[in-house]
């Protein structure tokens, strides 16, 4: 029962993640991470097939694991996040909520920039320090 439920949930999140490639308000990476989570716990065959797929390689492995997101990709990500954060900010007339959304958005921008660019540069520098050109 649990295995079947996890396979179903993984399939649903796979479909939502794939739709997210074309619709900017659905987060592809998050849904793909959930797909991996569900299928890892339910079906080794589905999990292996999923992590070898081109979409997983592009949206999860390159972006999050290898930290190889381009500046253009990051700007697109931040723009889509801005739109998503603006929707409730414009619909609800509450100053505290708007301030909270602004702080959370800025924290995302700073944190993701540090994670994707700052730590990637640090690991590249560490790798280069270990190499010697004799």
Residue 127 has pLDDT above 70, yes or no: no
pTM given for the model: 0.62
Query: How many whole angstroms separate alpha carbon 47 and alpha carbon 49?
Result: 5
CA distances from 65 to 23, 59, 87 (A): 23, 10, 30
Stronger pLDDT, 91 or 77, i.e. the higher one: 91
What domain range is 123 assigned to? Answer: 70-134
Same domain, 58 and 75: no
Would the pLDDT of 41 be above 70? yes
- pLDDT of 83 > 70? The answer is yes
The per-residue pLDDT for 78 is 86
21 shares its domain with 49: yes
Please provide the average confidence, as pLDDT, over all residues in the chain: 83
Say if residue 75 is in the same domain as residue 61: no
DSSP state of 41: T
Residue that is last in its domain, among 11, 40, 66: 66
Total domains in the chain come to 2
* Average pLDDT for 39-52: 91
Do 4 and 59 lie in one domain? The reply is yes
Instruction: Write out the two tokens for 42.
Output: 């339910």
Determine the average pLDDT of the residues in 10-20. Answer: 92
Query: Do 59 and 110 lie in a common domain?
Result: no
Q: Residue 45 — very low, low, confident or very high, per pLDDT cuts 50/70/90?
A: very high
């Amino acid at each position: 029962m649990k295995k079947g439920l996890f396979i179903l949930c993984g399939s649903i999140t796979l479909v939502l993640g794939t739709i997210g490639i074309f619709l900017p308000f659905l987060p592809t990476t998050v849904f793909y991470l959930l797909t991996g989570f569900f299928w890892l716990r339910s079906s080794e065959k589905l999990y292996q097939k999923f992590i070898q797929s081109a979409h997983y390689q592009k949206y999860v492995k390159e972006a999050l694991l290898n930290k190889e997101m381009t500046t253009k990709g990051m700007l697109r990500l931040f723009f889509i996040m801005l739109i998503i954060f603006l929707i409730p900010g414009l619909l609800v007339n509450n100053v505290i909520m708007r301030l909270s959304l602004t702080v959370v958005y800025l924290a995302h921008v700073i944190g993701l920039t540090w994670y994707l660019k700052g730590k990637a540069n640090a690991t590249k520098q560490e790798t280069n320090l270990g190499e010697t050109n004799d």
